[in-house]
Amino acid sequence: MTALWGAGGDLVVVEQDIELHRTVLSQFRRCPEPWCVFPYNGPGYGGADGGDPTLSGALGCVRFRATLMATHPGLMADVGNVDDAPGLGRGDWRRLDVRVLGALRDQGYAAHLHFPAVFQHHVFHGLCACGTEHEPYPVDREGRYAPEG
Ligand SMILES: [Zn+2]
Ligand SMILES: [Zn+2]
């Protein structure tokens, strides 16, 4: 992320478990806002386990304009160099989304939300966040895809 931040052009991030729909990239292309986000279902989708039902500031489906990155060229390197969670290493990916969110809000930005939301297929507690019972894939303790063997 640090290498891509401000490397030229806009930056679109789509995490591996996000299901896009057909207007995502065209909305990103057309919208003039500097920081655009498609929300998606979080761990509490469908009322399960009291988690956040909708993630609106995460990095799963986001576009940063080149102008934003040029205005704050050190932002990603700075947030990647923070040690703010016991047990996690400096710059750990599990805190990157909230650090980026906080750093951009501190600079006076607000995520520009786009709809319809996209869909996340992330396994929390043995159940996919999408709420359907499609083929479960093997995951590690953090819910990351972990092929067996
Ligand atoms: Zn936008
Ligand atoms: Zn799913």
Domain count, the chain: 1
Ligand positioned closest to the Cα atom of 119 = 2
The pLDDT assigned to 146 comes to: 77
| Cα 116–Cα 105–Cα 71 angle in degrees, nearest 5 | 100
Q: Is 139 inside a domain boundary?
A: no
pTM attached to this predicted model: 0.84
CB-facing half-sphere around the CA of 55: CA atoms within 13 A: 22
Q: Could you tell me the distance, in angstroms and rounded to a whole number, from the CA of residue 138 to the centre of ligand 1?
A: 34
Tell me the pLDDT of the chain averaged across its residues.
Answer: 86
| 87 in any annotated domain | yes
Kindly tell me if the per-residue pLDDT of 47 is higher than 70. Answer: no
Measured in angstroms, how far is the CA atom of residue 3 from the centroid of ligand 2? 30
| Across 48-55, average pLDDT | 66
Q: Is the pLDDT of residue 149 over 60?
A: no
The answer to whether residue 3 sits within a structural domain is no
d(CA 97, CA 133): 27
Q: Is the dihedral of CA 71, 75, 76, 77 positive or negative?
A: positive
Residue at 144 is within a domain: no
End-to-end CA distance of the chain: 30
- Segment 48-75 mean pLDDT: 87
Structure-model confidence comparison of residues 126 and 104, the more confident one: 104
User: Does the pLDDT value for residue 100 go beyond 60?
Assistant: yes
Q: How far is the CA of 63 from the centre of ligand 1 (A)?
A: 8
Mean pLDDT across the stretch 78-101? 83
- Separation of CA 6 and ligand 1 centre (Å): 19
Query: 60: CA distance to ligand 1 center in Å?
Result: 15
The Cα-based distances of 4 to 19, 64, 78, 119, 144 in angstroms read 22, 11, 14, 24, 23
> Does 46 or 26 have the greater pLDDT score?
26
Percentage of the chain lying above the pLDDT 90 cut: 52
What's the whole-number mean pLDDT along residues 115-133? 80
Range of the domain at 41: 11-128
Q: Please give the Cα distance from 65 to 109 (Å, whole number).
A: 12
Instruction: Examine residue 140 and state whether it is found in any structural domain, yes or no.
Output: no
pLDDT for 45: 61
Q: Can you tell me the mean pLDDT for 70-83?
A: 91
Residues whose beta carbons lie less than 5 angstroms from ion ligand 1: 31, 33, 36, 112
Cα 123 to Cα 7, 132, 141: the distances in Å are 32, 11, 10
In a domain, 1, yes or no: no
Q: Domain for residue 57, yes or no?
A: yes
Does any domain span residue 6? no
- Residues less than 5 Å from ion ligand 2, measured at CB: 121, 128, 130
